[in-house]
Amino acid sequence: MRISMDVELKDIPGQLILALNPISELKGNLISVVHHHEKRTPRGTIPVQLVFEIDHEKLNTIISRFEDSGVEVIRSGEERFLEHGAIIMIGHIIHTDIQDTMDKIDSTGFAEVVDLSLSMPRIDKPSSALLKIDAVGKKEMNDAMSLLKTVAKEKDLLVIEPIETELM
């Protein structure tokens, strides 16, 4: 499974290797390391974000190895959603049952609506909404967008998707 973890390191040389060694020794696959050297915490430690893949049963061993070597684990969780997307809808969003619209995405199991910003200028005017969607992968994100477009069409809502090609 894929784990995302926030840890904090002491601000002395050689600390990062303490956080990376246990992952490789337990045959984990390191995906990304973000070392926020400029963002010191009030405790004087350096925050680091790790993403890695590891067998489920080895996770606790990693965490205890970290703690033994003074690497503090702030947060650890399974990273399920790798794709993050945004989409805008315009129309009578509330009156066409926004709960139902969101349920359609949430019930897929591979995507979820994680944020909703809504703007309703006047009761007789169309509303605008920005939905943020997380999905398991790229294909699932596309499927979620298509599903949302189908639902929106039935409800006579205009959907504005992101362009496909991000800057290459």
Partner 1 sequence: MVIGMKTIRASIIGFGAVGQGVAEVLLRKNEYLKNIGLDITVVAVADSRSAAIDPDGVDLAKVLSHKRTEGTVGSEKLTGLEIIKNIDHELVIETTPTDINAGGVGLPNMLAAFEHGRDVVTSNKGPLALKYRELAEIAKENGSNFKFEATVGGAMPIINLTRDILAGNEILSIEGIFNGTCNYILTRMMEEHASYEQMLAESQELGIAETDPTYDVEGIDAASKLVILANSIFDIDATYKDVDVTGITKITPESLMLAQDDGYVIKLIGEVKKDLIRVGPRLVPVGHPLAVGGTLNVASVQTDLAGTVTITGRGAGSIETASAIISDVISIYRT
Does residue 128 interact with partner 1 by CB under 8 A? yes
Stretch that binds partner 1, among 16-24, 47-55, 61-69, 81-89 (CB under 8 A): 81-89
Cα of 51 vs its chain's centroid, Å: 12
Nearest CB to partner 1, comparing residues 79 and 161: 161
Is 144 a binder of partner 1 (CB under 8 A)?
no
**How far is the C-alpha of 166 from the C-alpha of 94, rounded, in Å?**
31
The per-residue b/e assignment along 71-89, b for 16 or more CB within 10 angstroms, e otherwise, is: bbbeebeeeebbbebebeb
Q: Is 2 helix (H, G, I), strand (E, B) or coil?
A: strand
* Contact stretch for partner 1 (CB under 8 A) within 42-50, 96-104, 114-122, 139-147: 114-122
**Please, are residues 133 and 114 in contact by the beta-carbon 8 Å criterion?**
yes
Backbone angles phi, psi at 103, to 5 degrees: -60, -35
**Minimal distance, residue 39 CB to partner 1, in Å:** 21
84 binds partner 1 (CB under 8 A): no
Q: Which stretch binds partner 1 (CB under 8 A): 15-23, 66-74, 140-148, 158-166?
A: 158-166
User: In whole angstroms, what is the distance from residue 168 CA to residue 166 CA?
Assistant: 6
Binding residues for partner 1, rule: CB under 8 A, are 86-88, 90-91, 117, 119, 121, 125-130, 132, 158, 160-168
